[in-house]
Amino acid sequence: MFRILAVATAAASVLISGCLPPPPGHFGSFATPVTPDEYGRRLCRHLELEDYAACLSEVLGYFEEPRPDDLPYGRNSNAGPIALVLDRRVYLGRYDGSPLVTRFRVTHGNQSCQGGYDAFAGSTDAILDVQCSDGRRGWADLTSALDGRNGIGRLELEDGTQAEIVYGYTALGQAEPYPYVHWTPPAD
């Protein structure tokens, strides 16, 4: 009986915390409508103006191509490619998520960042703690698109550096090869 009560209490805590106001600077929702334009702005914002327009056109063109939605459910429903645009560089990797545990790892050359939260280990919100290989730390806030399989996010490091996040197969296709390779600065 105690175990059932503990599980019910934990589940209620997670649900209630979703109803509380978000911490300052956080999105504050689990799902939001995300347009192809929004994905494009996040993936191309780091570029100079003349390259930004071409990159945005390529992203929008990617969304106009008809593709079957044949991604199998199961493990791939809550996992997939992720892109992080940090310091004008595109870091690529994979995320694995569920409502109670989420992790991601991205790399650019020999630099990497990883983050996650684990409600079972005491995380009290769905904000991911992040640590980068250069020693910087911070947090990431992810919000799903309405389809629940893709989304956007924001990363903020303790030094004030901010980054854009895009994740999911619809938004990126796959991380390797990155579909917008022409707009990825070379690795250091």
Q: Which tens digit of pLDDT belongs to each residue from 138-169? A: 999 888 888 777 889 999 999 999 999 998 88
Residue 60: CB atoms within 10 A of its CB come to: 14
* Amino acid at site 147: D
Indicate whether 124 pLDDT > 80: no
Tens of pLDDT, residues 38-93 = 998 998 888 888 888 888 888 888 888 766 555 555 555 678 889 999 998 889 99
Burial 118-127 (b: 16+ CB within 10 A, else e): ebeeebebbb
Q: How many CB atoms sit inside 10 A of residue 81's CB?
A: 22
pTM of the predicted protein model: 0.74
Q: Cα–Cα distance between 57 and 55 in angstroms, integer?
A: 5
What is the identity of the amino acid at 42? R
The residues, any chain, with a CB within 8 Å of residue 126's CB and separated by 6 or more, are 17, 18, 30, 99, 102, 117, 142
Share of the chain above pLDDT 90, in %: 24
Backbone angles phi, psi at 118, to 5 degrees: -145, 105
Strands 31-32 and 79-86: unpaired
Q: Domain map of the chain by residue range?
A: 22-183
